[in-house]
Amino acid sequence: MSKVAVVGAGAIGGTFGVRLCRTHDVTFCVRTPFERLRVETPSGAYDEPVRCATVPAQVGRVDWVLLAVKGHQTAGAAPWLKALAGPGTVIAVMQNGVEHVERTAPFAHGAEVLPMVVNCPADRLGPGRMVQNLHAGLQPQDGEAGRGLAGLFEGTDVKVTLQKDIVTALWTKLCANLAGGPVTALTGQPRGVVRRPDVAALARTLVRECAEAGRAAGAKIPDDIHETAVATIAGHPPHLSTSMLQDRLAGRPLEADPFTGAVIRAGEKYGVPTPATRVIHPLLMALNGGGEGG
């Protein structure tokens, strides 16, 4: 039995954390506590009594931190990490974006930071209530910590696939996020807006810039990803939302800095022009007055 802390008990933290409640010693580190965690999944519902902590003084060092706040909320979770993490702890960063290690390491206190791709469309309905829409999968970086994560989820229905080329996996996922997130958030419209040829052209440009920055960072990304990623979003039911649109409509800060901000930073680092991303990024940041953690 491992000691596990879930920091950020939202759609992802709740969906993955609930699977560990019966086999491990799990604490949910939250701002709004709940007594039971209910997660509806395609194959049935979990409904587990849980332990929540609301201040870092209530927790101590753990073996595993599942860090599932959004990327731009990582710095805000620093007090939790200070109490939970140290040498011997692994922080499993369950976020989108490509800067998991750079973003988390300053708050890791000697813990290992494990980057991964999270495959699991899920929504948070309220504190302790989530709905998981498709299968749950994790692709952690291959290595000892990644194998440890596979062991942690052993016996659950979470498919853990060790990822030898984490750079490619993370950048490919970011391309998918950028195909729909920014244009839906900026227009305030669900995925169907990508069926407009002009909006699709902008989305393709954002994905192309992301792919070019990613390739410069070492990712092996198909040449036509801007076509396929945007066609995928356009093929979804038009009323479907995106995470970025949901945050905008709820008045929450957007996960823009870890997405478009990361593309701009990589472009600067590797000398790849990102002109469209540079136009879109400040608009996304401005939507919520700059966002948590800038």
Ligand X SMILES: NC(=O)c1ccc[n+]([C@@H]2O[C@H](COP(=O)([O-])OP(=O)(O)OC[C@H]3O[C@@H](n4cnc5c(N)ncnc54)[C@H](OP(=O)(O)O)[C@@H]3O)[C@@H](O)[C@H]2O)c1
Going by the DSSP 8-state scheme, the letter that residue 141 receives in this structure is: B
d(CA 219, CA 134) in angstroms, rounded, equals 26
Location of structure tokens 């949901």: 246
- H-assigned helices in the chain: 11-17, 78-84, 100-104, 144-152, 166-187, 197-216, 225-235, 243-249, 262-270, 275-287
d(CA 107, CA 265) in angstroms, rounded, equals 21
| Cβ distance to ligand X smaller for residue 168 or 242 | 242
| Cβ distance to ligand X smaller for residue 99 or 272 | 99
The reply to whether 30 sits near ligand X by the rule CB under 6 A is yes
Catalytic residue among 3, 70, 164, 173: 173
Token reading at 92: 């499993």
Secondary structure of residue 163 in the 3-state scheme: strand
| Cβ distance to ligand X smaller for residue 9 or 245 | 9
The reply to whether 8 sits near ligand X by the rule CB under 6 A is yes
User: Binding-site residue total for ligand X (CB under 6 A)?
Assistant: 29
CA atoms within 13 A on the CB side of 86: 6
- Nearest approach in angstroms of CB 76 to ligand X is 4
- Nearest approach in angstroms of CB 29 to ligand X is 6
- Nearest approach in angstroms of CB 258 to ligand X is 7
Question: Which residue's CB atom is positioned nearest to ligand X?
Answer: 10
| Cβ distance to ligand X smaller for residue 136 or 203 | 136
The reply to whether 118 sits near ligand X by the rule CB under 6 A is yes
- CA-nearest of 244, 140, 136 to 193 is 244
Known active-site residue 173: yes
Of the residues 27, 41, 73, 205, which one makes contact with ligand X according to CB under 6 A? 73
The reply to whether 69 sits near ligand X by the rule CB under 6 A is yes
Of the residues 33, 121, 238, 290, which one makes contact with ligand X according to CB under 6 A? 121
- CA-nearest of 211, 292, 219, 208 to 258 is 292
Going by the DSSP 8-state scheme, the letter that residue 16 receives in this structure is: H
* Residue numbers at the binding site for ligand X (CB under 6 A): 7-13, 29-32, 68-71, 73, 76-77, 80, 94-96, 118, 120-122, 124, 243, 255
Give the catalytic positions in this structure.
173
